[in-house]
Amino acid sequence: MTRTGSKTRKAPAPARFDRRAFLGGVSASLLCARPALAQRVADLRGSIDADQLGVRPGAPDDQSAQMQAAIDAAAERGRALFLPGGRYAVSNLRLRPGSRLVGLAGQTRFDYQGGGHLLFAENASSVGMEGIRFDGGNRALGEYTPGLLHFADVSDLDITGCTVQGSSKSGLALDRCQGRVTGNTLSGARQAGLRSIEARGLAILDNTVLDCGNAGILVYRWNAGEDGTIVSGNRIERIRAIDGGTGQNGNGINVFRASGVIVRGNRITDCAFSAIRSNSGSGLLVSGNSCLRSGETAIYSEFAFLGAVIADNLVDGGAIGISIANFLDGGRLATCSGNIIRNIANEGPYPAEVQGFGIGIAVEADTAVTGNVIEGAARIGLHMGWGRYLRDVSATGNIIRDCPTGVAVTVVEDAGPALLANNMISGASDGAIVGYRWKDPATGDLIRAGANLPAHLTLSGNLAG
């Protein structure tokens, strides 16, 4: 017996291969051999097969109308829509509340046919997709859509194990969404692999983002405010900056005006600008990330932020390792601890500005710099302050090796207090601790200055060799 809605009817004798009967027959053996797969088979027993609703995998003609009807029918019945392996030529699909599309990973493929967007959902809850490859074919998208797949005001969103590739804009665009984006591969987008605006509790976990034109993962808000997105365990590689600029493009993970964001345990390589860049993002936590071969500043907390924790990251390659900057614009209150920074070059993707490149760590206001290891910065290991923009900065227990200047600290009038204590500095050919006026050295090595130190500086227990 099978049940449809509130009516019970006798199932007809099968006239052809019945997928659900087959799945039921093999589930017992799968439980012994592959428990995880068997569980997924059991989960799909209540689904509706798309081919039973007139959708034909591999058909050469456009199947948008048939696919939309199948999506609507499945959602109306409260069922997942199972999509057998094959190619589906579709465009301009819309998901209803409760829609869930399930394919066979690596086999079920939606090919965008042009004329607007591929998939859209708005003001919906409990929407999900799993195991589907979405291919934009680099075809033009409508002016109204920011991405190949666009979700707006969707709660309980679940996108798992999908592939999104070849978008002429962003791959996956989320507006005011809550839910999880887990274990997907996003590649070849002209803009961002994934762009989220004004999230409401979003988790971006364990995805792979590759070969995108301007950004890997964007977490943005129109106005500064609480966002709470978690970006964790992602692998991001080869992010370009095809639209140019001096940092708005070319970043692996970019946080803008979003507060309370956690960026943790990601592996980010070969970005044109930053591996992780936060602009005006307060309450930021950046920890345990691996940042390799960045083109500019590897980890950046800049402009009007209040509160940033940057801890236990590995930075190998870049033009600046970590920058916590822009006290002029209100950027302050941070800890920078336990990081390893090495191989920092004196060349960036544009002509050097302000203090220039070749710096391991740069900080300005209300910041503790503790227990970091910096090796092989081309100019300066630790840069403290910029002109008069220095206040309440302590550098304690750091190891700085093989940097021409170990520490450059501002000695411009009106600069605030700074403490350097118990740091070990070796191989600093131009001085272990040197006072700077803006871009230029203005003192000898202060580690030997004794009582002649500038009044705003306190030095204690530092070792130079």
Domains of the chain: 26-464 (2.160.20)
pTM, entire model: 0.90
pLDDT at 20 (0 to 100): 42
pLDDT at 353 (0 to 100): 87
pLDDT at 28 (0 to 100): 39
pLDDT at 451 (0 to 100): 64
pLDDT at 379 (0 to 100): 98
Summarize pLDDT for 128-149 with one digit per residue, the tens: 999 999 999 999 999 999 999 9
pLDDT at 449 (0 to 100): 75
Residues of the chain with pLDDT under 70: 1-45, 451
Summarize pLDDT for 205-239 with one digit per residue, the tens: 999 999 999 999 999 999 999 999 999 999 999 99
C-alpha span between 154 and 144 (Å, rounded): 18
